[in-house]
Structure 1
């Protein structure tokens, strides 16, 4: 019997609802579950000669059929970024966001693996920022704010993480001293809004939250552990063109493999008025400003003062 790839993929995902699989994981399952059909497919192909080539062919065919499959089966969904994952869910987009935020995000298909909450993403982002960009990062806890303006007075004001990039880390000490006297262009200041899940239901809210709380910085980024739906990333690229906020897809299992999907546009100047409000009303942000000032005074940043991975020292 010939292998009906479409129905096989849909049936497998439906039987494992809410679990996410890469195309390769699905292809390997098909190869193990339908050996006779796979052997017949291999023998009928002019281009496939080995089992490994057949699995790769299945991976390619699953990817090629993604769009028509999703049009026919709206409950078949995918994440964005690499590697793309496929899953079956009857939840609405908004219900998926609510579920992710209330119970944490499942990282693998293995039931034994724990789920994580948004706060667990922060050290992973810090690890990625240090290893990829050598950015010194610091957590900003909005609960440490004065909240003088009422319940929603500080809404969308504070980013989850802030960062400092030492542009002269490898400069000669004489050049450093010269720049210190000449200007204050030794650093770039970064801002990050971190989310467990971004999909069509919350994409604009998440993006404009990042726009709002990153307005003071040189670089503003939205960071997501999961991005679901092709239209979601299209929307983010359209919004980026207007506002310049970048997008990072965080790999929670291996932060070093995270990806900058959309680079942020640089703002040349820091908005010190906004930075002053943040520092006045939040102790964490005030500590961040003190660390930046200390860097300018001493020319050095101590790893122990920042949320930099311990192994970096």
Structure 2
């Protein structure tokens, strides 16, 4: 059997609604598949089950439990499952297996920073709780989760200086990012999207980023993007496979909001300061100033081994494992 065949066979054997650990343990007990390479085979099963959903494979369905974890079942077995469980009317569904350890939303920041660095964007996490009035829950509508800057790379120094003297704003573009672990419903999408609209008003480009979007939301995502201009990025456990689903629309910088963010958040102020320093650096100091900005910004992965190890440590489902 292939690993997918082993998963389908196990779901058929087990009947009902089960966790990825139930599926993994059944595969091992029955000897359906031999995990020769994967260091964490149970996470491989979790990732493969997620692939069924993300790829729109109608053979497998899932439901979200009260604790935020997912359980799975075969579509053709649906008629044998309590409809109240499927509809979510019974929040405390008893399921087999151990409670899988989840990952934090901010664990995704390093994946996003790696994707952005690969597209020549320097990015930095902004911790709203470190701002003045940081304990105010409304601050999440003011602060982006991450900010980024991309510089126009003109090869000729004369043309670079000429552009700076005309309009320094055109030498760089600032972006804002709102991150979510997953977006599974229309209401979740709207809340996350308008949070991104609110806290990205100051930037040239604003993005909503999530590790997983439900396929059925694509039409609404397109409508919101066309109406409000905030782009949408789907994040992959392999950050270099992340992609822009809907591009952000360009808008002019809002310097009053930038000034407000600089006043209330030191890290945002430092990010703007580092950006300015690189734009105004003399040629002989450019490389050292660029290095300072790179060190100030978030860490990023430089190869596959690094992100695979990170996903394993942080319990982020990694579809790259075989």
TM-score normalized by the length of structure 2: 0.63
Residues 232/17 of structure 1: CA separation in 2 closer, same or farther (3 Å cut): farther
Alpha-carbon shift at residue 189 of structure 1 (Å): 0.2
User: Could you tell which deviates more after superposition, 293-302 or 230-239?
Assistant: 293-302
Q: 1:244 aligns with which of 213, 229, 248?
A: 229
Q: Which residue of 2 aligns with 1:307?
A: 298
Unaligned segments of structure 1, at least 5 residues: 1-6, 21-31, 34-75, 101-110
Alpha-carbon shift at residue 237 of structure 1 (Å): 1.1
In the alignment of these two chains, the number of paired residues is: 236
Contact 1:142 1:282 in 2 (8 A): yes
Q: Which residue of 1 aligns with 2:176?
A: 191
Q: Which residue of 1 aligns with 2:127?
A: 141
Contact 2:128 2:140 in 1 (8 A): no
Structure 2 matches for 1:182-221, cutoff 5 A? 182-184=166-168, 185-200=170-185, 201-221=187-207
Q: Distance in 2 between matches of 1:295 and 1:271?
A: 21
Q: Deviations over 1:226-278 (max 9, x none)?
A: 112x33222111111110011111002x11011111111111x1001111111
Q: 2:258 aligns with which of 252, 275, 279?
A: 275
SS in 1 for 2:141: coil
Residue 223, structure 1, aligned to residue 209, structure 2: yes
Contact 1:136 1:308 in 2 (8 A): no
Residues 287/166 of structure 1: CA separation in 2 closer, same or farther (3 Å cut): same
Q: Which residue of 1 aligns with 2:85?
A: none
Q: Deviations over 1:117-166 (max 9, x none)?
A: 111100110000111x2100011001111018x73452411111100001
TM-score normalized by the length of structure 1: 0.65
Alpha-carbon shift at residue 289 of structure 1 (Å): 1.1
SS in 1 for 2:218: helix
Q: Deviations over 1:168-227 (max 9, x none)?
A: 2x4211211111212111000000001001011411000001100001000101110011
Unaligned segments of structure 2, at least 5 residues: 1-7, 22-30, 33-49, 71-97, 304-322
Contact 2:208 2:230 in 1 (8 A): yes
Q: Distance in 2 between matches of 1:199 and 1:286?
A: 34
Residue 91, structure 1, aligned to residue 67, structure 2: no
User: Could you tell which deviates more after superposition, 296-305 or 214-223?
Assistant: 296-305
Residues 9/278 of structure 1: CA separation in 2 closer, same or farther (3 Å cut): same
Aligned CA-pair RMSD:
3.6
Q: Which residue of 2 aligns with 1:118?
A: 105
Residues 13/137 of structure 1: CA separation in 2 closer, same or farther (3 Å cut): farther
Q: Distance in 2 between matches of 1:193 and 1:126?
A: 13
Structure 2 matches for 1:91-110, cutoff 5 A? 91=64, 95=66, 98-99=68-69
Residues 126/10 of structure 1: CA separation in 2 closer, same or farther (3 Å cut): same
Contact 1:221 1:248 in 2 (8 A): yes
Q: Distance in 1 between matches of 2:176 and 2:56?
A: 27
